[in-house]
Structures are given as C-alpha cells and as structure tokens.
Structure 1
C-alpha cells in the first residue's frame, strides 16, 4: 500500500485511531473526522501512518496515527482531478477547471488538497465561500522556467490559489516562496523538518535547518 503526504485515508471507526492523548470531544461529533484523515508529513514507521483529523473550523485539528491494516481506502490528490465535474455548483470549481485545462498543456501531475480536496474526496461539506484553494503540483525535479510559467498563470486567476510543489526525493515548497526567494533562500518541508534552500544552476541546494 503506497501512502503519501496529502493522501486522504478512510477508516471504519475512530476506535482505530492511535494517539498518546485523549481524542478531543469534537472528534465524535465531526463528520469529517469519523472516517477520514489526511496524511501528515512525517515518516511512516512500522506501518503506522501519521494523519490529521479535521473538524468544522480551523481550530479543530488533531494529529494522530493509524495502522495501515485499518485503512480501507487511500485517495490521492491526483485522483480528485477526475471527480471535479461532480462539484459543478461549488464556487471553487471554475478555477479548478481552468487549472486543469492549463496544466494539461504541460502534462503536469497535480491535485486539489486542503478543504477543497477533502470535500471533493469525501463529499462532506467543509469549505466556505472564502476558503482558499490549495493544490499540490508534483514534479520529478526543479524546473525554474516551468514554475515561473505556472506562477504567472496562477497569479492571473480571480481566486486565491496556494500551490505547493512536491518533489518525491526532496520534499515540498510553496510556489510563491520559490518564485520570490529562489536565489536568496526559501523553505523546503521534509519528513525530518524544514530546511532553508536556494537554487544554483537550476539545482536545489540544501541549507541549514530552519
């Protein structure tokens, strides 16, 4: 079973959740938390998967773990691109369709994450009219020219889009930070913590932990 950060995992019951702390009271009343968790950026050790549970507000978030044996379904952000048409009435869908059409020109792998991705994956209403649209863009390696093109396109959309770039062998960084600070230093999030990095000759250079 391949499980990656940002994937949404389904489980049968919250009794399968593992944590060293008591579950918050809101977990029992939150439809989004009863059967789903979002994989966090931590190492998966002995098939114990780090997940985040979500409630009906930003304040209701809880980090926990679940064993792979208790996961019944894994939903990746990439798989959600083909589900977007089912949510035509949602305020975020037109922007996602534009992104889909543009990214197809470059054959880019991507998918919605955050509250929008969770809603598309689970059909549980968790977004609001003011919710940001978070997406994840998957690349094999740094391509500065391509990222600048993507950044210019995203900037021209009429909704706020937060793009996180995932590189399997490295980690993730925010596209906006990369465009602004590629030469002076931007943060790359890894399983072992954040690192300050720069771009030298189109190659990423790891700096000290931040």
Structure 2
C-alpha cells in the first residue's frame, strides 16, 4: 500500500485523532462523516503520508498527516475515468465530452479535484463554476506541440480544464508546458523549481 500511494489519490480511514490539536471543527466533522482525504506532495515521516482534509467551503482545506496503517481504501484518479455523474453541471458535461478523446490519447489519465472527490465518494463537491481537474501520467516526454493540441481541445468545452502532467520527477501544468516559456515550474515533495525539461533528472539535481 505504501509504495502505491501517489499525489491526488483519495484515502479512507483517517480519524480525527490524527488531526493536529488545533484543527478546525469542520475538519473533525469531515473525518467523522467518513470522508476521504487527498494525498498531497510533501515530505512525511516514515509510516505517514501527507494528506489534505477537505471541507464544504472552498477555503476549508487543511494539511495533515495520515498514518499509513490507517488506510482502509485507496482510489486513484485514473480509477475514476469511467465513473459517470448524472448531475447537470458544466464540469460533468466537459468530462463526458473529453473522455473518448483522452482514452485515445495514448497516455493514462485521471480525474482529480472536486470532480474526482465527488465521483469517488458520492459527496457533493462540484458546482456550476467548478473547473475540471485532470492528471496525465507521462513517464516519457510529452512533446510540447501535443500539449498545445490538448489545450486547444480543452478550450472547446463548457468549463475551464486544468491538467497536471505527472512526470517521474514531479508535476508540471499542461498549460505551462504548452506555452512559450523556456522554463516551467516542476513541483514534487521536495521542492518547486524552474526547469526546461521536466523529464530530465539532471535538472532537478542541479
């Protein structure tokens, strides 16, 4: 279980007892209600994983650490690709429209953010102004011209679509990689740094 936990995975099993002593009441209520937490990119002590607790309001987000032994269930973003929602929302329509194209893109993709949270848990998190947050597993370089084609595709749907490219060395925003800047921001558990090639381990070591 430990080796398979990745950023954006949803985990069930964390208890309020694992929250910081000064945690807000909404975080306690979320865990008492059996809600999942989301894995975040941060260093954690052995036996723990860095997670975020989600509340009802957008500003209700709390960074915490979950004991690995407490993990009862894990759902990855890619496990949510074909989960349907009957809600009449722009984000739902956008996902439905993009799904066949993403399935054919040649890369493993997944749903994160509020859409992923709701599709995995059944707890209402999407609303009329929700963005669609996606991830793309890119173990090898994604050419920038292909990234631009994805952005063009995303800009044709009913809501804003934000995709993170998950490289072996961290995550980079698709829209940044598709842009004209020579360097882009690569984020991992250790740092956030500007690189020209997010797939080059020597750049991260520099």
When normalised by structure 1's length, the TM-score is: 0.86
- In the alignment, does 2:122 pair up with 1:123? yes
Residue pair 1:27, 1:34 contacting (<8 A) in 2 also? no
| Residues 65-89 of structure 1, C-alpha deviations (whole Å, 9 max, x = no match) | 1111101000100001121x2x122
Residue 126 of structure 1 deviates from its aligned partner by 1.4
In structure 2, the residue matched to 1:26 is 26
Q: Distance in 1 between matches of 2:150 and 2:171?
A: 16
In structure 1, the residue matched to 2:13 is 11
Unaligned runs of at least 5 residues, structure 2: none
| Residues 103-130 of structure 1, C-alpha deviations (whole Å, 9 max, x = no match) | 1222321111111110111000112111
Q: Distance in 1 between matches of 2:203 and 2:110?
A: 26
In structure 2, the residue matched to 1:141 is 140
Residue pair 1:14, 1:35 contacting (<8 A) in 2 also? no
In structure 2, the residue matched to 1:103 is 102
**Structure 1 stretch displaced more, 139-148 or 31-40:** 31-40
Residue pair 1:164, 1:174 contacting (<8 A) in 2 also? yes
Residue pair 1:11, 1:72 contacting (<8 A) in 2 also? yes
Residue pair 1:199, 1:205 contacting (<8 A) in 2 also? no
Unaligned runs of at least 5 residues, structure 1: none
Which structure dedicates a bigger proportion of its chain to strand? 1
In structure 1, the residue matched to 2:176 is 177
In structure 1, the residue matched to 2:186 is 188
When normalised by structure 2's length, the TM-score is: 0.87
Query: How many correspondences in the alignment?
Result: 202
Residue pair 1:197, 1:204 contacting (<8 A) in 2 also? no
Q: Distance in 2 between matches of 1:191 and 1:117?
A: 21
Residue 39 of structure 1 deviates from its aligned partner by 0.3
